[in-house]
């Protein structure tokens, strides 16, 4: 399960790594793993934001406002990091280098959506169905019990 704190920790670690690599003069192509890690963390936070806007049914009674606020805060920090990285990389390597990072990030988002997020959405869907079926059975059992008690008090069985 993805949570905003671990996604932000991964983004911060990748951010620090990219900044250090740029400051010592490494090429962008040599930082592909770190940039990929940054992109994955950005993608995770985006996914969490979309999920917080429409939470699964089984999380209906949880504190979704606090989670949404946490995600929003992390997204604001991430936007600040992104802007600083864009300026830093564009200044050191030129604007085309930032375009390359944006391209890598888009590719990473697509891979994450296909591999991780669809699986998480399937799990959420299965849990939603299980909770719905359980609620239906419990409701049916309660209704049957009420009908039986009413019938027993009236002497019909």
Q: What are the 10-residue block averages of pLDDT along the chain, 157 residues in total?
A: 77 83 72 78 82 70 68 83 83 81 80 80 88 94 94 84
Range of the domain at 104: 4-111
Note whether residue 87 is domain-resident: yes
Whether the predicted model's global pTM rises above the 0.75 cut: no
Domain count for the chain: 1
d(C-alpha 46, C-alpha 7), whole Å: 10
Note whether residue 79 is domain-resident: yes
Q: Where are the alpha helices (DSSP H) in 24-117?
A: 32-53, 64-93, 95-112
Note whether residue 116 is domain-resident: no
pLDDT at residue number 135:
92
pLDDT at residue number 140:
96
pLDDT at residue number 61:
61
d(C-alpha 106, C-alpha 99), whole Å: 11
pLDDT at residue number 62:
63
Query: Which residue's structure tokens are 């990748």?
Result: 14
pLDDT at residue number 37:
82
Note whether residue 148 is domain-resident: no
d(C-alpha 56, C-alpha 124), whole Å: 6
């Amino acid at each position: 399960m993805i949570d905003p704190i671990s996604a932000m920790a991964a983004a911060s670690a990748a951010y620090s790594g990219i900044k250090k690599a740029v400051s010592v003069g490494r090429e962008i192509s040599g930082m592909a793993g770190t940039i990929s890690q940054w992109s994955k963390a950005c993608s995770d936070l985006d996914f969490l934001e979309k999920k917080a806007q429409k939470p699964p049914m089984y999380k209906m009674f949880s504190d979704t406002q606090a989670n949404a606020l946490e995600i929003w805060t992390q997204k604001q920090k991430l936007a600040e990091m992104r802007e600083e990285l864009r300026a830093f990389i564009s200044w050191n390597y030129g604007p085309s280098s930032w375009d390359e990072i944006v391209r890598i990030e888009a590719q990473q988002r697509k891979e994450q959506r296909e591999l991780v997020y669809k699986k998480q959405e399937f799990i959420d869907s299965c849990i939603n169905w299980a909770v719905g079926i359980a609620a239906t059975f419990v409701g049916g059992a309660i209704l049957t019990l009420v009908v039986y008690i009413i019938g027993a008090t009236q002497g019909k069985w």
